[in-house]
Structure 1
């Protein structure tokens, strides 16, 4: 090898070595630690663990470039201050239920659940193919927040009561934990609806601050121990027929991500929507059996006249959101139109099949 070739190859080698030396700091600089605050107690089954799965999934799929550190309710901010923390940039992400933010705008209810609203499958259909995500994005832009669905509990139970609800009179004066528009329906019935984060419900029942509560369903309710205080379990839950949970992100932070990282986060949220729904379906049946057989819980269906009055009031309460402002009107109209179009298919598909299966097999 002549001197010129040696010098050329040596120069190329030095350049490659220099590039390798520079690559490590560049990768290190690309890594970021992200705070996710939640509305759930630490490690709470289903909801808290679902939020942790989202955080862990984003961290894993990004190869650790986006390391998401989760903070349970109260660890960094109180549960109901999660939205403000993300909006202001104090945290990059939250995991919670959008109806907790109805004080910002009542339209947020539609992205968790509204009374007599979408099932879990219908909500996903609206979000992905009915214009729901676009309306959510528009609403969130006013608060510097971008959201994605990242979990669903499915249809919820009607709640826990000291005595079964047998008439509309039983609702009058009742102090019951229920957030969202379902709480407004209770007020129309003469009850006192109180919004409490999950971790505060059991102490409130113990202290007599509330007489009754709803939370989610057998899987989560048994974990909170409501069966230790109340024994009457009502169904179905009119207020949350398919409760979507969300990851909300600071919009400035979100818009600073590459398109690839945005797609990564969206995919991780969508994955949790599927996994959490599967978990609740898998756990709730056996949990209900345990509540009934081992804890002396009695199951009661709401009487037809009570349910019908609840349904009538629910329709008006939900429609009132459309009178809020232009975005409220468009969210409500989109919801109402899509519910009408999808309900017929739900009736002759899922509903008719499960009814026929139950009749044929006595399930």
Structure 2
């Protein structure tokens, strides 16, 4: 075997050393050549090929500097996006992984002298979010991909739609309380006075009459005395009932209704006159979502289709994912709001039972706009329909 053959230990050791990282001071970026020692680097700098590369660099140094800077930035940001995503990470961790590639662009050949300068520049240009701590510089990648932004908006929209009924009711009650407090501020303060009877002079008197000569002659236990006692008791009962009714009327007049009671009465009147609603809303063919864990964890937050309605308040639901049929009460499910342009069924109000098309959503007021597709008012657009009054129709 020759002394400097391919399989000699020295040749194998040299190839192993060439695969790994070498010292940065013995690397030539223009020639992209890594030398293993100082003597080899000195010989390379005196070579004709290196001198030609230096002449090219001297003609247009900004061109090569910008090229190397751009390559370094692309490689660094690609590693940050693919490896760490939007997590907060130390800058040295990313840099150490970046330089593991033997053919990477060295920072000494870019416009940035140190890693700190490069991190500060990234923060100023808006590539990442930078924060400095006692442990060093930390960066967080800012993902501006249009698909990612659209996906985030869609998730936020779904979260708003999937809010529980309790949260929506709490917000509604809070708004009503604020509205009531504003109305009470505008009113004058209530003055409390002493409870007085309107007709103090009118006293209830009973004229039982004096004993007549005929009655004096009657003995106890006779029929005349019994009749007299019955008349007295009847008169006393009538007087007591008159007093209690009069007192109740005065108490009702004196008691002032609270703002919340007035709002409730107004809402009830409005529902009875303008939009009469019923306390049951289940209908065959609509899509509902289970909102209770009593039926089992596997059905919680799952959707299904109403196949049959029983005694107005209960129905049979066929689950979409598992295909099983369960019996539910209307308190255990809620309506499902589809995307714009989909078919829905009106479950309550004057348009109850009509099919419609969903036109738009108002997530702040928890209502929608629909166009009726059936019924006597077909083609009419109805605004301000509450979420619980419509539900998606099964396809």
- What is the TM-score when the length of structure 1 is the normalising length? 0.21
Choose between structure 1 and 2 for higher RCO, CA contacts under 8 A separated by at least 6 residues. 1
Structure with bigger gyration radius: 2
More helix by share: 1
More strand by share: 2
